[in-house]
Amino acid sequence: MKTAVVIPVKNERQGLERLIRSLISQVSEQDEIIFVDAGSTDGTTEMLKAYKGKIHQIKVFYCKGAFPGKGRNIAVRNTDAEIIAQIDGGNLPAENWLREITAPIKNRTADYVTGNINFMPINRSVFGIDINLGEVYGITSERRKNRDGGLLPAGGASVAYKRTIWGKAGGFPEWMRYGEDPVFVKKILQQDIRTVFAEKAVVYWQIGPSFMKIMKRIFLYQMATIRTWKDVRQSASRVLIHLIFVISILSSIIIQNAWTLPVSIFMLLFVKRMIGSMKMYMDRIHEKFGHNTLIFFLFLGIEFTGIFFRIAGTIRGLLSAKKNRIDWEIKVNKYLAS
pLDDT at 332: 81
275 and 166, same structural domain?
no
125 and 27, same structural domain?
yes
State the total domains in the chain.
Answer: 2
What DSSP string describes 26-61?
T--SS-EEEEEES---SSHHHHHHHHHHH-TTEEEE
State the CATH number of the domain containing residue 113: 3.90.550.10
188 and 311, same structural domain?
no
Mean pLDDT of 285-293: 81
Give yes or no for a contact between 79 and 167, defined as CB atoms under 8 angstroms apart.
no
At residue 154, does pLDDT exceed 50?
Answer: no
pLDDT band at 116, cuts 50/70/90? confident
Mean pLDDT of 107-116: 93
201 and 161, same structural domain?
yes
pLDDT at 119: 79
Domain range spanning residue 35? Answer: 3-205
**More confident site: 326 or 10:** 10
**More confident site: 234 or 65:** 65
pTM higher than the cut 0.85: no
- Report which of 118, 117, 121 is spatially closest to residue 133, judged by C-alpha positions: 121
Domain boundary among 151, 172, 205: 205
pLDDT at 26: 97
Domain boundary among 162, 180, 205: 205
277 and 243, same structural domain?
yes
pLDDT at 325: 57
69 and 216, same structural domain?
no
159 and 128, same structural domain?
yes
